[in-house]
Structure 1
Amino acid sequence: MDRNERSLHASSFGAAAVAYAEHRPDYARAAVGWALEAASGPRVLDLGAGTGKLTAALVARGVEVVAVEPDPAMLAELRRALPDVRALSGGAESIPLPDGSVDAVVAGNAMHWFDMAVAGPEIARVLTPRGVLAGLWNVMDDAVDWVAGLARVGGTAAVGPRDTPAAWRAATADMHLPGNGDAARFGSPEQAVFPHGQRRTAESLVATLATRAGVLVMPEPEREALLGRIRAFLADRPETADGEFTLPMRTGVLRVRRL
């Protein structure tokens, strides 16, 4: 994906901010704990915080959270849902915080949108020495047969290049190291994957997939055709045809420490 295409996808969420807040999953608690266990203090920046899915999990852990989000509609949803959280307008490439002001920077399903050649030094700037940078991603567990079938039907628009565990590991292994200069700012990456799941119906799962960037930027006829194929697939599978079911997921975490 080139820079222009990445920018188009990254800016697509605002129009679906309410649906994003309603349908996107939270993060496995064990994954959030692992992301933060190496942090030297309680001050955490949720960067690219969106509507606050990860922010809420951080609040529940009792840490001191500040959220930064560039999209006004997403930020408005976050502030509505979490009015007591300090929530600022800003992006990974220009973080509105002082030097060395946080002990950890986390990003939920967001780090792949960052221009790490610029964001890497910015993240290093706001982190304390030995501070932690952690990206978290929710992915579908395609070891489950019907989920693998859903991935085939949905294609790359609905189930993208980081949306299964193996693809996530490959895509994120060196995501934080765009070049030698930034490589010197962080230590070796660690990856871990944690079981997770989300209660869905067929229609709410379709609504969830409709908030994916690849689907949001589709022309309307193509989007409706894709979502129609997904509905037909879910209606034909005994696991998903009637009532609620659990969508098998994993939360993957990439963790590095600032040197």
Structure 2
Amino acid sequence: MDQTERLLHASSFGAAAVAYAEHRPDYAQAAVQWALDPAPGMRVLDLGAGTGKLTATLVAAGADVIAVEPDAAMLAELRRELPAVRALLGSAEAIPLPDGSVDAVLAGNAMHWFDMAVAGPEIARVLAPGGVLAGLWNVLDDQAEWVAGLAQVSGSAAIGPRDTPASWRAETADMHLPKTGEAARFGSPEQAAFPHGQQRTADSLVATLATRAGMIVMPEQEQEAALGRIRAFLASRPETAQGEFTLPMLTSVLRVRRL
């Protein structure tokens, strides 16, 4: 994906903010615990917070959370869902917080949109020494045979890089993280994955996949054709054809520590 296409995808979510809030999953609590081992009152920045899916999990863990999100429509949904959370308009490349003001910076399904050449020094600036930077991604567990079939039918616009465990490990292994330099000094990255799941019906799973950036920016006729293929596949499978089911997922985490 070139820079122009990346920016188009990254800025697309506001058009689907309400659907995103309704249909995107939360994050496995065990994954959040591993990312930062939160204690009550720990100061955590949820960066690229979207509609607050990760924010809510952090609040439930007892963290003192500040949410920063660049899209005004997404931020409005976050403020509606979590009115007690301090939520600011800003980006990973221009964080509206003072130096050393947080103990951890987490990003849920967002770090791949950051320009880390700019965001890395910014994150290091607001993060206290010894603090953690962690990206969390919900990926589909394609060890389930029907999920592997869904990934094949859906195409890369709906289920793409980072959306299954093997592709996530490959995509994040070489992800540009801040490591050295006067402004950004981090240790070696670590990866881990934690079981997770989301209760879905065929219709709500289609609605979830329609909130992926590749689907949002797709021309309407192509989008309807892609969603039609997904509906037909789900209707053909005994696991998904009747009523509610659990979509098997993993919350995968990439973590580095500020030195």
Q: Same fold (TM over 0.5)?
A: yes
Q: Does residue 35 of structure 2 align to residue 29 of structure 1? A: no
* SS state at 1:44 partner: strand
Contact map agreement 1:39 1:103 (CA 8 A) in 2: no
Quick one: which amino acid aligns to residue 142 of structure 2? D
What's the CA shift string for 1:153-192, capped at 9, x where partnerless? 0011000110001111111123243686489611000110
Residue 232 (structure 1) aligns with: 232
Q: 1:86 to 1:45 in 2, by over 3 A?
A: same
Of all paired residues, the percent bearing the same amino acid is 81
Q: Does residue 258 of structure 2 align to residue 258 of structure 1? A: yes
Shift of 1:40: 11
Q: Does residue 146 of structure 2 align to residue 125 of structure 1? A: no
Residue 109 (structure 1) aligns with: 109
CA distance in 1 between partners of 2:163 and 2:182 (Å): 26
Contact map agreement 2:47 2:91 (CA 8 A) in 1: yes
Residue 77 (structure 1) aligns with: 77
Pairwise mapping of residues 95-174 of structure 1 onto structure 2 (< 5 A)?
95-174=95-174
Residue 202 (structure 2) aligns with: 202
Segment of structure 1 superposing worse, 182-191 or 100-109: 182-191
CA distance in 2 between partners of 1:183 and 1:85 (Å): 29
Quick one: which amino acid aligns to residue 31 of structure 1? A
Shift of 1:28: 0.4
Residue 189 (structure 2) aligns with: 189
What's the CA shift string for 1:21-75, capped at 9, x where partnerless? 0000000010011111288971000000000000000000111100000000000
Q: 1:102 to 1:2 in 2, by over 3 A?
A: same
Q: Structure 1: which 4+ aligned runs deviate by more than 3 Å?
A: 38-41, 178-184
Contact map agreement 1:39 1:132 (CA 8 A) in 2: no
CA distance in 1 between partners of 2:178 and 2:124 (Å): 13
Quick one: which amino acid aligns to residue 73 of structure 2? A
Contact map agreement 2:44 2:63 (CA 8 A) in 1: yes
* SS state at 1:158 partner: coil
Quick one: which amino acid aligns to residue 99 of structure 1? D
What's the CA shift string for 1:89-115, capped at 9, x where partnerless? 000000000000000000000000000
Q: Does residue 57 of structure 2 align to residue 20 of structure 1? A: no
- Extract unaligned runs of 5+ from structure 2: none
Residue 216 (structure 2) aligns with: 216
* SS state at 1:32 partner: helix
What's the CA shift string for 1:221-256, capped at 9, x where partnerless? 000000000000000000000000000000000010
- Extract unaligned runs of 5+ from structure 1: none
Segment of structure 1 superposing worse, 123-132 or 169-178: 169-178
CA distance in 1 between partners of 2:169 and 2:185 (Å): 22
Residue 57 (structure 1) aligns with: 57
CA distance in 1 between partners of 2:154 and 2:211 (Å): 13
Structure-1-length-normalised TM-score: 0.97
Segment of structure 1 superposing worse, 170-179 or 221-230: 170-179
**Aligned alpha-carbon RMSD (Å):** 1.7
* SS state at 1:21 partner: helix
Contact map agreement 2:104 2:127 (CA 8 A) in 1: yes
> What is the number of equivalent residue pairs in this alignment?
259
